[in-house]
Amino acid sequence: MAVRSGTPMSSRDLHPVAESLFSRFVGELREKLDDPSLNRAETCRDAIAALYGVRFDAAALEDESIPLGVRAQWATFDARNITLEPEYYADVDAARYAAVKPLIWLWIMFDRSPPGQNAWLGHEVRRALAERIFARCGRNAKFWHFVEFTYGYNLSIGDDVVVHRYAFLDDRGGIEIGNRVSISDYVNVYSHTHDINDIRQVSLRKTVIEDHARLTYHATVLAGSHVGKDGMVGAMALATRPAPGMQVSVGIPARPIRPKARPCPYCDEEARARQS
């Protein structure tokens, strides 16, 4: 039996009290993140502590009556007390990364918290963070659990994009994702590459995914690749060269094997306008 994607198999309605709580949490988070009088690192630290059920008190970190392991955990709530892998890369823009690092750390810690498994709340929190991390985050972008990216500030995402679980977007050299793109579970998209003889030599190459493209399960798109409008990169495929629009590309390396019969009606703007 064919089922349309997005068709509810059971009710997705939230209890009114829960929906009110979640909406207030996201609304207050947005307001605090945009308040120039507040320290962004402290705002994110306090949000993480709240997600883990801790009433944070910076002075408690020096309280010897509290177990050392507990205080070490509390210290990690603050992005200023941790390092992330991108900070070790030679091409990182330290000032730009420092500005978004607390938000990235909140995203990571949210995903690993009990509330982070709540799809409704997760979409709202991640979108709020993406709008303040990425170079561009379009309308109604949706991010599922454990999506990762490198710097964030070199990532541009269009309207109605869906990024599924465990996708990795390496934006070191820049990634541009168009409107209504679907990125499936465990997809990897890269924008940097290493010299074959000297691993220390890194080349940054912008990767472009055009409107309505689909990157399906476990596909990998290498740096500098270009996936055309309405193009599809099949499951487990490795895109090392342009993947043409309106074509299904599969294999290692990925090659077009057949044209698509028609654009997806949901993605086709004219069709969407007629339906509305």
The candidate with the shortest Cα–Cα distance to 150, out of 132, 129, 133, is 133
Residues 244 and 110 in one domain: no
Residues 56 and 153 in one domain: no
Which among 83, 104, 133 is the end of a domain?
133
The boundaries of the domain holding residue 100 are 30-133
Element (H, E) at 46: helix 40-51
Residues 157 and 106 in one domain: no
The candidate with the shortest Cα–Cα distance to 85, out of 163, 170, 147, 164, is 170
Element (H, E) at 186: none
Q: Which residues contact 108 (CB under 8 A, 6 or more apart)?
A: none
CA 15, CA 19: separation in Å to the nearest integer? Answer: 6
Domain membership flag for residue 5? no
Domain membership flag for residue 11? no
CA 276, CA 272: separation in Å to the nearest integer? Answer: 6
Residues 138 and 209 in one domain: yes
pLDDT score recorded for residue 1:
52
Domain membership flag for residue 1? no
CA 40, CA 165: separation in Å to the nearest integer? Answer: 27
CA 52, CA 98: separation in Å to the nearest integer? Answer: 24
Q: Please report where in the chains the tokens 């999506």 appear, as a residue.
A: 147
pLDDT score recorded for residue 5:
57
pLDDT score recorded for residue 120:
94
Which among 68, 99, 133 is the end of a domain?
133
CA 198, CA 177: separation in Å to the nearest integer? Answer: 30
Residues 148 and 276 in one domain: yes
226 and 243 in contact (C-beta within 8 Å)?
Answer: yes
Residues 88 and 129 in one domain: yes
Question: CA 122, 123, 129, 133: dihedral to nearest 10 degrees?
Answer: 130
The enclosing domain of 196 has a CATH number of 2.160.10.10
214-215 and 182-183 beta bridge pairing: parallel
Q: Where are the beta strands (DSSP E) in 122-172?
A: 136-137, 142-143, 148-149, 155-157, 162-163, 168-169
Residues 125 and 230 in one domain: no
pLDDT score recorded for residue 261:
81
Residues 274 and 263 in one domain: yes
Residues 140 and 246 in one domain: yes
pTM of the model: 0.90
Domain membership flag for residue 217? yes
Q: Please report where in the chains the tokens 């997809």 appear, as a residue.
A: 187
Name residue 142's amino acid: K
Which among 133, 162, 178 is the end of a domain?
133
Residues 102 and 232 in one domain: no
Residues 73 and 128 in one domain: yes
Query: Average pLDDT per run of 10 along the chain, which is 276 residues long?
Result: 50 81 95 96 96 89 93 95 96 97 98 95 97 98 98 98 98 98 98 93 96 98 97 97 96 94 70 52
Domain membership flag for residue 271? yes
Q: Which residues contact 58 (CB under 8 A, 6 or more apart)?
A: none
* Alpha carbon distances (Å) from 253 to 205, 232, 240, 256, 270: 18, 14, 6, 10, 33
Residues 142 and 97 in one domain: no
* Alpha carbon distances (Å) from 91 to 51, 86, 215: 33, 9, 27
Q: How many independent structural domains does the chain possess?
A: 2
Q: Please report where in the chains the tokens 């339906």 appear, as a residue.
A: 275
